[in-house]
């Protein structure tokens, strides 16, 4: 079974080879690796060209203009030949048996879309921190669409899906962050079968220029999310409240002020806990207190 693996790339000359080799060295060998260069200004393209000379499974596609990772992924999808499509990031590492385990899950569970946990490495003030990120077990959740409407469980580099999914769902180029969250919502909305593998199959490195640290992009993406699914949130106020609380948390952890979303959550369904969070956010105490509590949990 041919698998098309897509990597969007922009200025990753120091990491792209290792990320790509973790794909090429998979125990499942029947694959093509499509690397979409988003107008890199460094030596990334030369690195990929050298790899393509050594392994015929590597294909380089150059974007005509810089459009961002979502556009690059969609270009890769349009050029994919495989029955299965998967995604890798240009600075992460797959475990050698990732594809083998994901394909097995697709076949045994008759799933359209599978994803796994991942291990995230961050370097903060010169020190490396590593943690495995488990997610809620969507396999037992009847209302997957509702659950995904208020919290993200899917990271792009863990996604492995059947080709027919992409006839209905694509990455939204307008999202500067949380494109994986929006994509997973689209998959659930269409009724495709989702299966979660409760095992880390990816090692993700959060670099200094990662969008994970970009608070402004978080704010913009969450505004887009709220507007895109406005009708669904209006129909399901309990879920909208949970979405607002999650959005506020993400914004606060990105270093921005999440008061707006705490206010929306409190107005939707008033509670003592919601009021406390709102007051802390207005006093700019939510983030430091949350970090302090986390140290003792």
Kindly state the average pLDDT of the residues 183-191.
Answer: 97
Which structure tokens are listed for 191? 């009724």
Note the pLDDT of residue 287: 81
In percent, the amount of the chain with pLDDT more than 70 equals 90
Note the pLDDT of residue 297: 45
To the nearest 10°, report the CA torsion of 240, 246, 248, 249: 170
Residues whose CB falls within 8 Å of the CB of residue 202, separated by 6 or more in sequence, listed in order = 92, 93, 94, 95, 98, 116, 118, 119, 155, 157, 158
Q: 41-50, 60-69, 132-141: which has the minimum mean pLDDT?
A: 132-141
Residue 296 pLDDT greater than 70, yes or no: no
Strand partners, 37: 9, 62
Range 272-277, long-range pairs (CB < 8 A, 24+ positions): 274/245, 277/245, 277/248
Confidence band of 256 (pLDDT split at 50, 70, 90): confident
Per-residue pLDDT reduced to its tens digit, 277-289: 899 889 888 888 7
Kindly state the average pLDDT of the residues 103-115.
Answer: 97
Confidence band of 136 (pLDDT split at 50, 70, 90): low
CA dist 268 and 241 (Å) reads 6
Query: Which SS3 state, helix, strand or coil, does residue 120 take?
Result: strand
Kindly state the average pLDDT of the residues 227-250.
Answer: 95
Backbone angles phi, psi at 194, to 5 degrees: -105, 135
Note the pLDDT of residue 200: 93
Which structure tokens are listed for 30? 């029947």
Mean pLDDT in the chain? 90
- Cβ 199 vs Cβ 118: under 8 Å: no
Query: Which SS3 state, helix, strand or coil, does residue 19 take?
Result: helix
CA dist 77 and 82 (Å) reads 10
Kindly state the average pLDDT of the residues 33-61.
Answer: 97
- List, as one string, the DSSP characters of 74-100: HHHHHH---SEEEE--TT-EE-TTHHH
């Amino acid at each position: 079974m041919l698998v098309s693996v897509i990597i969007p790339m922009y200025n990753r000359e120091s990491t792209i080879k290792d990320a790509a080799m973790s794909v090429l060295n998979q125990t499942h060998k029947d694959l093509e690796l499509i690397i979409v260069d988003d107008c890199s200004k460094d030596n990334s393209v030369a690195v990929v060209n050298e790899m393509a000379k050594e392994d015929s499974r590597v294909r380089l596609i150059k974007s005509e203009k810089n459009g961002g990772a979502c556009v690059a992924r969609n270009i890769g999808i349009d050029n994919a030949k495989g029955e299965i499509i998967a995604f890798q990031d240009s600075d992460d590492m797959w475990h050698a048996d990732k594809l083998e385990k994901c394909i097995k899950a697709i076949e045994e569970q008759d799933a359209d879309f599978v994803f796994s946990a991942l291990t995230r490495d961050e370097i903060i003030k010169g020190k490396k921190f590593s943690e495995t990120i488990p997610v809620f077990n969507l396999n037992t959740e009847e209302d997957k669409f509702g659950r995904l409407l208020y919290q993200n469980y899917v990271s792009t580099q863990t996604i492995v899906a059947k080709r027919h999914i992409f006839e209905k769902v694509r990455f939204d180029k307008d999202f500067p962050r949380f494109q994986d969250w929006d994509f997973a919502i689209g998959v659930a909305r269409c009724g495709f079968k989702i299966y979660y593998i409760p095992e880390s199959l990816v090692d993700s490195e959060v670099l200094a220029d990662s969008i994970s640290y970009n608070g402004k992009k978080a704010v913009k993406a969450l505004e887009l999310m709220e507007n895109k699914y406005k009708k669904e949130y209006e129909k399901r106020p309990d879920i909208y409240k949970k979405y607002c609380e999650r959005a506020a948390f993400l914004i606060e952890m990105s270093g921005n002020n999440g008061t707006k979303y705490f206010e929306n959550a409190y107005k939707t369904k008033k509670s003592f806990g919601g009021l406390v969070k709102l007051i802390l956010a207005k006093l700019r105490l939510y983030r430091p207190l949350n970090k302090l509590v986390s140290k003792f949990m």
